[in-house]
């Protein structure tokens, strides 16, 4: 409640079109507010269906300080649960991938079915009501091979995303992928600075010389083609090939297919595909990239040969963990169809450059001399959308309203 008053006052101070007041980036109470309220209000891209290939497969991860687990049921339905035992709260499934016909707590072996029901608890009295001790469910939806989760009581709308972005994702064949590599970075910066960094390419021309080889770093918003004949031709070619380009966006998401720089077919060091076995065989794999985002924490790029997934999760007021995953066709053979080093090289370099920029940003934002500065409308429109979205949600929380973000 103290935090609500503080956040409300900060929202009043905030000036549209300008970076946020300092406390949004470095105040522990605002951070606690973010974890408790903002991260619970929205959909998170937590993984991919191919990561849970068979009944009993599970994927555990931590959202802020909250461990969750995603599980494929015997009925093939993918569900999500708070990864916290209903006995004394132990984390049930260790972070990462696992498998098992039941969920057995490592502490006292209380045993839950894959649908969350408590089915065994040793040494409990006769009057113990198992039905009162099932796992807490979280919202889970899937679309185009992607798994989304939401920790809210009532989740925001998912249907618009499924309807509009679903076909764009389906075209990427993610259901037939596998995770080929995962890299985790710890960044000494507030999660909002990580996401502002991830939402603009204003810094790319100088900050990411390697990325600039393939990625159109001077692009605006959703890679608008304008009257560029090359871009217009790309768009027409994609539509003809049945690869919807969008752009589409909703309250908490965005998706658009766009062409890479001339002559480039993948986001690698040289623009050549890093994988021989393609996920998208249409047009010989010359299909640009589909970028899609969850406003609060993630973006992903699907080229013909791979999917690169970026997810940031706050761990402290000025610490954020970034997880990168690279997916390739499930039948691609390591060492034969692809080499992991080559597969990850470009985005790994890029993520480390961004980490350094985020940390530089945080150090300067901590200054008693920090003042919010004006964003570039051209180069930072999606940063502005992010901070507008955040401030809108934060206002909803402190007023108890539920106004949609438009």
Residues that bind ligand FES (CB under 6 A): 85, 87-88, 90, 105, 107-110
Q: What span, in angstroms and rounded, lies between the C-alpha atoms of 299 and 201?
A: 13
Q: If contact means CB under 5 to 8 A according to the sort of partner, which of Fe ion, ligand FES, its own copies, none does residue 342 touch?
A: none
Report the residue number, 15 or 230, with the smaller CB distance to ligand FES.
15
Closer to ligand FES by CB, 108 or 395: give it. Answer: 108
CB of 200 to Fe ion, least distance (A): 8
Nearer to its own copies, 47 or 80 (CB): 80
Query: Which range touches its own copies (CB under 8 A), out of 162-170, 179-187, 343-351, 370-378?
Result: 370-378
CB of 203 to Fe ion, least distance (A): 6
Please, what is the minimum distance in Å from the beta carbon of residue 375 to its own copies? 8
**Looking at beta carbons, which pairs linking 367-370 to residues 24 or more positions away fall under 8 Å?**
370/22
Contact indicator for 328, 305 with CB cutoff of 8 Å? yes
Site for its own copies in 39-58 (CB under 8 A): 40
Q: How far is the CB of 25 from ligand FES (least distance, A)?
A: 12
Residue number, 92 or 300, with CB nearest to ligand FES: 92
CA distance 344 to 183: 9
Exposure of 133 in the CB half-sphere (CA atoms within 13 A): 18
Q: How far is the C-alpha of 305 from the C-alpha of 266, rounded, in Å?
A: 7
Choose among ligand FES, Fe ion, its own copies, none what residue 354 binds, the Cβ cut-off being 5 to 8 Å by kind: Fe ion
The residues in 378-397 that bind its own copies, with binding defined as CB under 8 A, are 378-379
* Residues 104 to 163 in contact with its own copies, rule: CB under 8 A: 106-109, 122-125, 128, 133, 136, 138, 151
Residue 321 interacts with its own copies (CB under 8 A): yes or no? no
Nearer to ligand FES among residue 108 and residue 277 (C-beta)? 108
Q: Give the residue, chosen from 45, 61, 78, 92, that forms a contact with its own copies under the rule CB under 8 A.
A: 92
Among 337, 354, 380, 393, binds Fe ion (CB under 5 A): 354
Q: Of 360, 402, 403, 404, which lies in the binding site for its own copies, with binding defined by CB under 8 A?
A: 360
Q: Which of 66, 111, 323, 342 binds its own copies (CB under 8 A)?
A: 66
| One residue of 364, 399, 402, 403 binding its own copies per CB under 8 A | 364
If the CB atoms of residues 98 and 271 are measured against Fe ion, the closer one turns out to be: 271
Closest approach of ligand FES to the CB of residue 295, in Å:
21
- Partner interacting with residue 269 (select from Fe ion, ligand FES, its own copies, none; CB below 5-8 Å by kind): none
Q: Which residues bind its own copies (CB under 8 A)?
A: 19, 25, 36, 40, 62, 64-68, 81-92, 106-109, 122-125, 128, 133, 136, 138, 151, 196, 202-203, 206-207, 357, 360-361, 363-379
Q: Which residues bind Fe ion (CB under 5 A)?
A: 354
């Amino acid at each position: 409640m103290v935090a609500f008053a503080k956040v409300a006052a900060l929202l009043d101070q905030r000036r549209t079109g300008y970076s946020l007041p300092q406390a949004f980036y470095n105040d522990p109470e605002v951070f606690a507010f973010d974890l408790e309220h903002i991260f619970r209000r929205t959909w998170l891209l937590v993984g991919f269906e191919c990561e849970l290939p068979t009944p009993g497969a599970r994927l555990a991860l931590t959202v802020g300080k909250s461990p969750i687990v995603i599980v494929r049921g015997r009925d093939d339905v993918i569900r999500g649960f708070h990864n916290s035992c209903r006995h004394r709260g132990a984390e049930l499934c260790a972070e990462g991938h696992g498998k098992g016909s039941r969920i057995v707590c490592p502490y006292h072996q209380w045993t839950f079915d894959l649908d969350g029901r408590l089915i065994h608890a040793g040494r409990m009295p006769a009057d113990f009501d198992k039905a009162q001790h099932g796992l807490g469910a979280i919202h889970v939806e899937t679309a185009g091979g992607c798994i989304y989760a939401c920790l809210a009581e009532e989740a925001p709308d998912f249907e618009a995303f499924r309807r509009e972005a679903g076909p764009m994702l389906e075209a990427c064949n993610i259901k037939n992928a596998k995770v080929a590599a995962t890299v985790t970075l710890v960044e000494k910066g507030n999660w909002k600075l990580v996401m502002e960094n991830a939402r603009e390419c204003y810094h790319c021309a100088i900050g990411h010389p390697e990325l600039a080889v393939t990625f159109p770093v001077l692009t605006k918003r959703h890679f608008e083609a304008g009257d560029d004949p090359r871009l217009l031709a790309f768009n027409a070619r994609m539509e003809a090939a049945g690869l919807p380009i969008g752009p589409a966006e909703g309250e908490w998401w965005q998706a658009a297919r766009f062409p890479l720089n001339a002559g480039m077919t993948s986001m690698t060091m040289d623009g050549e595909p890093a994988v021989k076995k393609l996920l998208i065989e249409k047009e010989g794999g010359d299909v640009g990239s589909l970028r899609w985002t969850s406003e609060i924490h993630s973006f992903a790029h699907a080229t013909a040969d791979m999917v690169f997934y970026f997810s940031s999760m706050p761990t402290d007021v000025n610490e954020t963990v970034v997880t990168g995953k690279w997916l390739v066709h499930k039948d691609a053979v390591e060492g034969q169809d692809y080499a992991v080093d080559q597969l990850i090289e470009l985005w790994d370099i890029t993520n480390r450059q961004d980490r350094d920029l985020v940390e530089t940003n945080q150090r300067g934002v901590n200054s008693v001399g920090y003042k919010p500065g004006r964003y570039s409308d051209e180069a930072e429109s999606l940063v502005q959308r992010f901070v507008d979205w955040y401030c809108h949600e934060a206002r909803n929380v402190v007023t108890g309203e539920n106004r949609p973000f438009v």
